[in-house]
A = this chain, B = another copy of it.
Amino acid sequence: MAVQTEPVRRTPLTRDRVLRAAVAFADGIGIEALSMRKLAKELGVVPMALYKHVANKEQLLDGMVDVVMSEIAPPAPGSDWKGAVRHRILSARRALLGHPWAAQVIQTRSSPTPVVLAYMDSVIGMFRTGGFSVDLTHHVMHALGGRMMGLTQELFDAPPSPGPQAQPVTPTEGAGDYPYVRELAGAVVHDEASVVGQGCDDQFEFEFALDLLLDGFERLRQQGWSSAGRSGPARP
């Protein structure tokens, strides 16, 4: 009989195993359903066992973010600053898209982990070596904000919530008395029906906004913009 790896002895927990299990579990059941107790059960262990590897739930969430961050591709060598930044950010976005809970969790962290700091550092570095002053880089990073990590600054997943509950009243439901919202929603649906599920192409929207910002950054860089005058990007 097998002497090694006797099944009665579970493979021991590690911080890494806990974090990966948490990520997979959240991918499956959603972040709001993730609890220390359920995660422990998933790992075949008593809840308190987890606390030998993470200090508390907040640190668990921090670690989960780090796992997602580790999926971001390393910086592409060479090329212009815009291409480099664009490539990195789109890679970050791809990592996030695989974990629908990640965006929300990232936004509720109160301070960055070293992994996140390292990522920010590398993005800042791209601007600096691309010819941006410290001053401009600073403002540019603020302007990028969460988009730097691939977060879409969306307000809601679906505009009027087509939830499972019955919604009576008129067939113009949802957009109700909001003519402009309805106009937009209608146009999106009818437009080009190539996009599969929902009415609009999130990837396109993300790149649209990203390129709009990057183009704006480039313009400011070229004209040697500085915040000394303190009057926003429109300054000639």
Chain A contact residues, CB within 8 Å of chain B: 104, 106-112, 114, 116-118, 120-122, 124-125, 128, 134-135, 137-139, 141-149, 151-161, 163, 175-176, 178-181, 183-184, 187-188, 191, 200, 204-205, 207-209, 211-213, 215-217, 220, 227, 230, 232-234
Asked if A143 contacts B205 (CB within 8 A), the reply is yes
Asked if A213 contacts B213 (CB within 8 A), the reply is yes
Smallest Cβ-Cβ distance to A199: which chain B residue: B138
Residues of chain B with a CB closer than 8 A to A134's CB: 183-184, 187
The 5 closest A-B pairs by CB, nearest first: A145-B153, A111-B161, A143-B209, A124-B180, A121-B178
Asked if B183 contacts A110 (CB within 8 A), the reply is no
Residues of chain B with a CB closer than 8 A to A135's CB: 187, 191
Extra A-B contacts (18), CB below 8 Å, given A111-B159, A112-B159:
A107-B107, A107-B155, A112-B160, A117-B159, A117-B181, A118-B178, A121-B181, A137-B184, A138-B184, A138-B200, A139-B208, A141-B184, A142-B209, A145-B209, A147-B153, A148-B155, A153-B153, A213-B216
Residues of chain B with a CB closer than 8 A to A184's CB: 124, 134, 137-138, 141
Residues of chain B with a CB closer than 8 A to A234's CB: 211, 215
Measured CA separation A220–B106 after assembly (Å): 32
Measured CA separation A116–B145 after assembly (Å): 23
**30 A-B contacts (beta carbon < 8 Å):** A104-B107, A106-B155, A109-B156, A111-B156, A111-B159, A112-B159, A112-B160, A114-B176, A116-B155, A117-B160, A120-B178, A121-B180, A124-B180, A125-B179, A128-B183, A137-B184, A138-B200, A142-B209, A144-B153, A145-B155, A146-B154, A147-B153, A148-B155, A208-B227, A208-B232, A211-B234, A212-B217, A212-B233, A215-B233, A216-B216
Asked if B151 contacts A205 (CB within 8 A), the reply is no
CB distance from A68 to the nearest CB of B (A): 14
Asked if B178 contacts A154 (CB within 8 A), the reply is no
Give the residue of B154, B175, B205, B233 whose beta carbon is less than 8 angstroms from that of A208: B233
Residues of chain B with a CB closer than 8 A to A209's CB: 142-143, 145, 213
Smallest Cβ-Cβ distance to A188: which chain B residue: B138
Measured CA separation A205–B179 after assembly (Å): 33
